[in-house]
């Protein structure tokens, strides 16, 4: 059995999976949230009269400009914040379902390099998340047009799309660690807790000078969630993300290679 067959099998597992469509529904929800926030930004008096603008809403709109630049920034922030959670759920689902459904022992007993299964699942997660990111960009353009923002400059589309893609790649770099925790714990609960904990710690680290060296804070810096986009991000930050990815992949493969097929 070649890697191609293992990969195609992993894709086939998603054919009737509800998770595939639920992930896109979540991204539609992100788009509706962005539309709502931007509508309040462009119609502050109407929103205030309806009792919609309070302290939290004002905080959400802080620093946003009522144009395409602000709209792209808002989508990037929602896409990264939500994407970190959604992609973690995707990875946990792809790796954890083998244990909850009792198929892990069958996979580990096959005369196939176990690294193939790890690589195939990570590739499926990357493709899945890439489609969600592309969907987010298209959704941004459509909703922006519905809001009457006009036609965005071609240069702005290219720049902001590139920023969203860079942020998405940084999110992808963190996911092998989630896969490692999932296979090490052989279930769903522990990796969910790990995901929440890393998000909380990353949010705290943003306020320190160490943010540029902490993987989960680097994602926030790249997306603009922590202030002006890419402020504080250095070459070392990219190397940290690359090392995080390599450690996560190596750890997941080692965990599977050394695992007893009775688990």
Burial of 250 (0-12, 13-18, 19+ CB in 10 A): middle
Instruction: Give the model's pLDDT for residue 252.
Output: 94
Q: Give the C-alpha separation, 40 to 175, whole Å.
A: 34
Instruction: Give the model's pLDDT for residue 128.
Output: 94
- Whose tokens are 């810096």? That residue is 221
Check residues 101 and 180 and name the one with the higher pLDDT: 180
Check residues 3 and 57 and name the one with the higher pLDDT: 3
Which two tokens mark 75? 């989508």
What are the pLDDT digits (tens) for 149-158?
778 787 888 8
- Reduced to 3 states (helix: H, G, I; strand: E, B; else coil), residue 120 is helix
Residue boundaries of the structural domains of the chain: 3-29+67-141+154-257
CA 254 distance to own-chain centroid: 24
What are the pLDDT digits (tens) for 235-248?
778 898 999 999 99
- Whose tokens are 């990353």? That residue is 202
Q: Give the C-alpha separation, 151 to 5, whole Å.
A: 44
Check residues 121 and 40 and name the one with the higher pLDDT: 121
Q: Lowest-pLDDT range, 11-15, 78-82, 188-192, 242-246?
A: 78-82
DSSP alpha helices (H): ranges in the chain? Answer: 3-13, 18-42, 44-49, 55-60, 68-100, 104-109, 114-146, 154-185, 189-205, 215-223, 235-257
Q: Tell me the pTM.
A: 0.86
User: How many residues are there in the chain?
Assistant: 263
Which own/partner pairs from 129-135 qualify as long-range (CB within 8 Å, at least 24 positions apart)?
A: 129/83, 129/86, 129/87, 129/90, 129/168, 129/171, 129/172, 130/168, 132/23, 132/24, 132/27, 132/83, 132/86, 133/79, 133/83, 133/164, 133/165, 133/168, 135/24, 135/27
Q: Lowest-pLDDT range, 9-18, 28-37, 55-64, 180-189?
A: 55-64
Provide the sign of the torsion angle of the four alpha carbons 107, 109, 115, 116, taken in this order: negative
What are the pLDDT digits (tens) for 120-136?
999 999 999 999 999 99
Contacts of 147 (CB under 8 A, 6+ apart): 35, 38, 39, 42, 71
Which two tokens mark 149? 């923002």
Instruction: Give the model's pLDDT for residue 2.
Output: 85
What are the pLDDT digits (tens) for 3-35?
888 899 888 888 888 888 899 998 898 888 888
Instruction: Give the model's pLDDT for residue 182.
Output: 94
Report whether 202 contacts 220 (CB < 8 A). yes
Which two tokens mark 15? 């054919």
Provide the sign of the torsion angle of the four alpha carbons 61, 66, 69, 74, taken in this order: positive
């Amino acid at each position: 059995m070649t890697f191609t067959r293992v990969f195609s099998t992993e894709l086939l597992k998603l054919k009737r999976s509800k998770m595939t469509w639920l992930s896109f529904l979540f991204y539609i929800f992100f788009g509706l949230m962005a539309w709502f926030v931007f509508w309040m930004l462009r119609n502050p008096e109407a929103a205030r009269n309806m009792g919609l603008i309070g302290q939290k809403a004002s905080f959400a709109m802080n620093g946003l400009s009522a144009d395409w630049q602000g709209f792209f920034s808002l989508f990037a922030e929602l896409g990264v914040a939500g994407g970190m959670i959604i992609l973690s759920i995707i990875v946990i689902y792809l790796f954890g379902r083998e244990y909850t459904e009792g198929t892990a022992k069958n996979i580990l007993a096959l005369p196939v390099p176990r690294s193939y299964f790890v690589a195939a699942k990570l590739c499926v997660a990357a493709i899945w998340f890439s489609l969600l990111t592309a969907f987010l960009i298209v959704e941004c353009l459509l909703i922006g047009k519905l809001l009457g923002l006009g036609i965005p400059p071609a240069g702005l589309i290219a720049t902001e799309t590139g920023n969203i893609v860079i942020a998405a790649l940084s999110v992808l770099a963190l996911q092998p660690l989630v896969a490692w925790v999932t296979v090490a714990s052989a279930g769903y609960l522990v990796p969910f807790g790990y995901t929440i904990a890393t998000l909380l710690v990353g949010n705290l680290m943003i306020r320190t000078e160490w943010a540029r060296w902490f993987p989960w804070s680097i994602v926030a810096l790249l997306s603009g969630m922590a202030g002006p986009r890419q402020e504080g991000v250095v070459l070392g930050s990219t190397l940290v993300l690359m090392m995080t990815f390599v450690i996560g992949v190596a750890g997941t493969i080692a965990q599977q290679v050394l695992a007893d097929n009775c688990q």
